[in-house]
Amino acid sequence: MNRIRKGDQVLVIAGKNKGQKGEVTRVAGESVFVQNINLIKRHTKPNPQANQPGGIVEREAAIHISNVMLFNTATGKGERVGYKTLDDGRKVRVFRPSGEVIDA
């Protein structure tokens, strides 16, 4: 079970985008892609077979998972994540400081 999943709100805690918040669009191993954060310009060649024009395309680059922290909307801060097993046997993520369950 990953601490950070697709669709989570995260806070960037290190790097040039430190302090910015966004939604995780993709998780790839130890990297995450956050919407409108860590944007890079990619120079692409046109590909007529895929009907793709060439030019400069701006897209998100990967951020290492250790450089983002799950954002708690209740407190308005980034918080660490732990795990807890519920009475019905489900394993859920919880915020460490408050013990609030993330996965309902």
Task: Report yes or no: 25 and 37 within 8 Å, Cβ to Cβ.
Answer: no
Residues composing the chain? 104
Residue 38, phi-psi category: left (phi > 0), alpha (psi -120 to 50), beta (remainder): left
Q: Give per-residue pLDDT as tens, 60-96.
A: 999 999 999 999 999 999 999 999 999 999 999 999 9
What does the pLDDT read at residue 14? 96
pTM: 0.85
